[in-house]
Structure formats: structure tokens, C-alpha cells
Structure 1
């Protein structure tokens, strides 16, 4: 009897990857807190998760006009949008609120850790079922 990983692992197999992408976006915001005219971005988690579940790429791929061309792996992140600033403009055009970015990063990290632990427990249960423990 074949094991259906989609049924066994549920949504958590996709959420780990989306949370990883969101962590990169939030880390980029934090890294650019002092960059003039930098606009903070965030990932629409629900939209990106839905797209990951459907197994779709972000929609744009590099055009290959020759067999010797190779894919650079550069694709836009699904659900990526500019964040509406919560603070008034400081005069340099930067919209990053460092405290909010840190909070969002920590929350995202906790949720990713939760999904990883859930996946770990699922794999442990499947291993026990296979061994007959």
C-alpha cells in the first residue's frame, strides 16, 4: 500500500517553504532599515501558501531562446507586496519600522518552528507504523 505524503503531512509541508520565503523578505527589510527610499515589503502568506499547494511557480520564467541558455532560478515571490507604513515619513523615504519587522520576523520564526515540529512528529508516527512498533 502506497503512502500519500500529501494526506499524511497536510498543509505543513508547504507552509515551511512559504515561511522560509517570508523570513527572507522580513530579513531584507531589517537589513535595509537605514537605506534611503527603501520600501518595506511583506508576503501575503495565504496567497503564497495557496500557490505552493497548487504547485505553481510565480508565473514568470526566463525566456530561453537557445538550447545553451539555462534557468537562473530567479522568479518573483508569490504574494509579495509593499507594506503600508505605520509611521510618518522620516524624510528619507524609508518605510521600514524596525520594531514591527522584528516582531513579524519572530512570529514567523515561531510559526515555522511549529510546522517543523509537527512534520517531525508526523514522520515519527509514520516510521513507527512502518516498523510496526
Structure 2
């Protein structure tokens, strides 16, 4: 199976979720400022894998296994705020590949392709 570039995965699997570079959709009126966290993209050259992290613990995990920081994609909520949807992380051990999605279609495609649920990275507002 062909490995997609990160931007293609985001475009295909997030299906209209607006978080990257869109603070207006990431922080609605009344949201606590400390409820926001950067969504960081990491790269592992040996695995040819991008990884998105939503917590400091996961940032350290990425560094400890050889990922390098690429950029801040935007912001996500650290708690489930009204109107948000979970941003799920899936893992494929055979491919050593991470996949991030926020849609039912993305989850279905991930599971059908052999990915397993890893965790929720945070919460994002649909576009």
C-alpha cells in the first residue's frame, strides 16, 4: 500500500475538521485558555512516519523513539468541550505507522487496514 504524505492523510481523514492554523475554530467564546494545547507534528525518517501529538508526555515519547519536531499544526482542546469531537490516534505495528482521524469514516478505514486504537489526542471543533 502506498504511504500518503501527512497533508493528504489530514485532508482525507479529518474530513472538514478545522484545527490547523484556525484559532477561531479552536477556541470558542468562554473556553478556558489553559484548555488549549498545541497539536504538534513529528517525523521519523527511518520509519518514514508522521506522528501528531497532543500532550507533553507524548511529545517526550516521540523524542525518545527518534522522532524530530516538524511544526505546530494548530490547537486542540485538552478536554471534551461542548461541540468538539475526539481526535483519535491509531497505530499499525506491521507498518510502524501512526494515523490520526476525527471521523467515523477515518476510523472505519483505519480498522479495515489493520490499525488499532491507541488513544484520544484531544478534541477539535468540526468545520
Same fold per superposition (TM over 0.5):
no
TM score, norm. by length of structure 2: 0.26
Give 1 or 2 for the bigger CA radius of gyration.
Answer: 1
Higher-strand-fraction structure:
2
Higher relative contact order (CA 8 A, sep 6+): 1
